[in-house]
Structure 1
Amino acid sequence: MERLTTTERDTLARLDGASMLARTKEWAAINSGTRNLAGNATMAGLLADAAAALPGSVRLVPAAPVDTVAVDGRVEAIGHGDHLHLSVRPGATRRLLFFGHMDTVYGVDHPFQSLTTRDDGALVGPGVTDMKGGLAVMLAALSALEAGGVIDAIGYDVLVNSDEETGSLSSAALIGEVARGKHAAFGYEPALPDGTLAGARGGTGNFSVVVRGRSAHAGRNPEDGRNALVAAADLAVRLAAARAPTLAVNPARIDGGGPNNVVPDHAVLRVNFRPRDAAAIEAAGALLREIADTVARDHDVAVEVHGLFNRPPKPVDAAAERLFALVADAGADLGLVIGRRDTGGVCDGNNVAAAGVPVVDTMGVRGGAIHSSDEYFFTDSLVERAALSALSILRLGTPA
């Protein structure tokens, strides 16, 4: 702490842990599972109110159209909530991006809906870590900086989408648009419990493979049928066998079938790919097409592939290394050891990096057990991580 300037100390003194905790609890009490459009609308309104305390213009951006494949193979539109965008000093020479998401993985019918406090003081609740605590950290850091007038030369955008947990399909174009041209970006996914940040990330692609066969009586004339379920299972086995060191393949689900005495005429295979690099994406696309063609021929069925690689891999290049170093140095001046670890998980940091912007995407609270009914975060990390953000942002505003 001895290395902090007077301006930096004054900025950090404005951080209020109690208000951040109250805001996190208020937001976590609102169910905003991705498909809960009413809950996301409530969250968007509250976030817009909070963001209005910052200078600049706030808008709610309608979600772009997204199609999904139903269990019967039909392609149908699916709705998403509005995304929040705040633009501050867009004419500034040095511009930054801060991003997060308002949606969670917990739907309205999920049993995990309430907040509790553990014996060690950690707060347990849906979305407290991923990422309503992170949103509170982001806004508190920016408010502290704006209150001191110390970042008047910096322009920035805040983007909070409503569909990150399902792949950001309705916000991907918006992310790319807002990210373009930024000097650096911070995302507010949670850090690990010990404060370690995510470094390089792999990519991901989700696909629904529709198989259409021919129904027949299972006892009288099964040879006239074309079993779509068997063909989908063959697809799954072949894809699973094709995994490689740079490509994880997870056949996750097969929808289809019907009565035991009917040869099933339709099935939908859901499969996830995790490529580590761009070459693996190309290989996976070719692999999927080849296996789909082989299964269609061998089983005399029609096979349609729907989906895309929605998040490219996120390497840590030289610009990202410099940004991580800046954050680590800021942490050291706060008495924190900021580690880094590569991960197979993905987030909107992948999309931001693909726009050519160096990014640290785990500037949120310290916590764990995300996407489970034990999700928790350490409440003292609110001030800690807001201080880390504020100090890093302040130093980003000073050209090297």
Structure 2
Amino acid sequence: MQGLSEIERRALEPVDARGADMLANVESWSRINSGSRNMAGLAEMADLLAAAFAPLGGTAELRDPAPVETIDEDGRRVPLAHGRNLHISRPGRGNARVMLTGHMDTVFPKDHHFQDLKWLEDGVLNGPGVADMKGGIAVMLEALRALEASDLGGRLGWEVVLNADEEVSSLGSALLLAEVAQRCQTGLTFEPSADPEGTLAGGRKGSGNFAASIAGRAAHAGRNPEDGRNALVAAADLAVRLDAMKTKRPTLSVNPAKIDGGGPNNVVPEMAVLRWNVRPLTPDDQAWAEAAQEEILAEVAARHDVKIDVTGSFARPPKPLDEKQRGLFDLVKGCGSDLGLNIGWKDTGGVCDGNNLAAAGLAVVDTMGVRGGAIHSDREFMIVDSLTERAKLAALTLMRLAEGRLIEGRSAQ
């Protein structure tokens, strides 16, 4: 590992010996179901994580989520529950501060069949959340442990946010993420690598999730259908028009995902709910989509004489790989090179809290977690050796941030 200073070598040496401890944490945490809607499981995870991070020092608190509304299947606005979020803050001796984020929730609800761990082969562990991202939290914890035990400990301030709703767009934790980001200059998010080889995610599309409640008017389908206003037809028309946005803006992805509504064949449907997702590549795409959606909603309401109530927003702004982002990527790439790792990156249509951090003005690398794959499926796996590999990468990155190697978003290596 040429290129490492003596301080860095001494700090990284103990990480190799802690691989078994990191794996034990991942196994323990992944046996707890912490699906985004499992409030009891999320509370249990938050307590375990608070205890695991406590030896690092700092001030820890559980933060309540912001209130959020959604539209239910009957078209009513209802509260949407989210778990509490763990926030840990440890100021450094100077003004430099890094934000580290991870999520304790998974996509697997309490009644999902995928609840157990098993070895797919030697060194490859299959289980819910092992890669996305309980393995990443283990990496984060070990990297901070190495930083604080080094001669650079205390020089760099850091704040950790482990939220409970990342897999459902971080709606309840968005304000906390934005608040913490205002006190930091750089961000590291511990999502799994973009592929099993360890590639980092570069630019990311943004994402907006929306739901429209469409109120029509019921009538007899045979005697007086003209007196009705068919909400289901209006929802279908809205879905088709929204889908057509991507033909006018090729860098935009649009996915009408679900329609609820309707009833007996002899009744004109008076209520329907449409849900859709929009993914803009650039901020200009997002602005165009917002204007286009407003126009389409007004046209459909007028065409079908229905009322439309919409919830949702672009909770994940686009994250282009601009010069500011490249500076931090270069720093991480240089750290990888000094550790004998070839670090590359590629753009992705997936989104995460890294989108939010970049939108708040931070330089951020958001795939600092383990190598693995098949996330969001019962085939999810983690490559166990990557626990120590990525912990070293993250620890070295933190130490070089502590040394001031990143200046105004550019690597000073």
Q: TM-score, length-normalised on structure 2?
A: 0.95
Q: Give the residue type in structure 2 aligned to 1:227.
A: N
Which whole-Å CA distance do the structure 2 matches of 1:397 and 1:269 have between them? 49
Correspondence 1:221 to 2:224: yes
Contact 2:123 2:385 in 1 (8 A): no
Match of 2:352 in 1: 347
Secondary structure of 1:52's match? helix
Alpha carbon RMSD of aligned pairs, Å? 1.1
Q: Tell which deviates more after alignment, 8-17 or 35-44.
A: 8-17
1:71-102 per-residue CA deviation (whole Å, 9 max, x = no partner) reads: 11110112111100110026632111111100
Contact 1:130 1:189 in 2 (8 A): yes
Question: Which of residues 226, 238, 243 in structure 1 aligns to 2:241?
Answer: 238
Which whole-Å CA distance do the structure 1 matches of 2:213 and 2:57 have between them? 49
Which whole-Å CA distance do the structure 2 matches of 1:116 and 1:168 have between them? 29
Q: Give the residue type in structure 1 aligned to 2:58.
A: G
Which whole-Å CA distance do the structure 2 matches of 1:210 and 1:121 have between them? 48
Secondary structure of 1:377's match? strand
Match of 1:7 in 2: 7
Correspondence 1:205 to 2:208: yes
Match of 1:22 in 2: 24
Which whole-Å CA distance do the structure 2 matches of 1:112 and 1:52 have between them? 30
Which whole-Å CA distance do the structure 1 matches of 2:317 and 2:9 have between them? 39
Q: Give the residue type in structure 2 aligned to 1:26.
A: S
Which whole-Å CA distance do the structure 1 matches of 2:6 and 2:92 have between them? 28
Match of 1:384 in 2: 389
Q: Give the residue type in structure 2 aligned to 1:254.
A: I
> Per-residue deviation at 1:270?
0.3
Mapping 1:132-281, distance limit 5 Å:
132-191=134-193, 192-243=195-246, 244-281=249-286
Which whole-Å CA distance do the structure 2 matches of 1:184 and 1:303 have between them? 41
Mapping 1:6-155, distance limit 5 Å:
6-15=6-15, 16-89=18-91, 92-155=94-157
> Per-residue deviation at 1:329?
0.8
Q: Give the residue type in structure 2 aligned to 1:289.
A: E
Secondary structure of 1:118's match? strand
Q: Per the alignment, do residues 119 and 62 of structure 1 end up closer, same or farther by CA in structure 2, a change over 3 Å counting?
A: same
Which whole-Å CA distance do the structure 2 matches of 1:399 and 1:297 have between them? 58
Contact 1:150 1:394 in 2 (8 A): yes
Which whole-Å CA distance do the structure 1 matches of 2:385 and 2:104 have between them? 22
Where do 5+ consecutive residues of structure 2 fail to align?
Answer: 406-413
Secondary structure of 2:337's match? helix
Q: Per the alignment, do residues 90 and 268 of structure 1 end up closer, same or farther by CA in structure 2, a change over 3 Å counting?
A: farther
Report the count of equivalent residues.
400
Match of 1:327 in 2: 332
Which whole-Å CA distance do the structure 1 matches of 2:331 and 2:383 have between them? 24
> Per-residue deviation at 1:149?
4.1
| % identical aligned pairs | 56
Which whole-Å CA distance do the structure 1 matches of 2:5 and 2:350 have between them? 37
Which whole-Å CA distance do the structure 2 matches of 1:322 and 1:285 have between them? 31
> Per-residue deviation at 1:335?
0.9
Contact 1:181 1:357 in 2 (8 A): no
> Per-residue deviation at 1:373?
0.9
Which whole-Å CA distance do the structure 2 matches of 1:145 and 1:241 have between them? 50
Which whole-Å CA distance do the structure 2 matches of 1:90 and 1:10 have between them? 21
Q: Tell which deviates more after alignment, 114-123 or 333-342.
A: 114-123
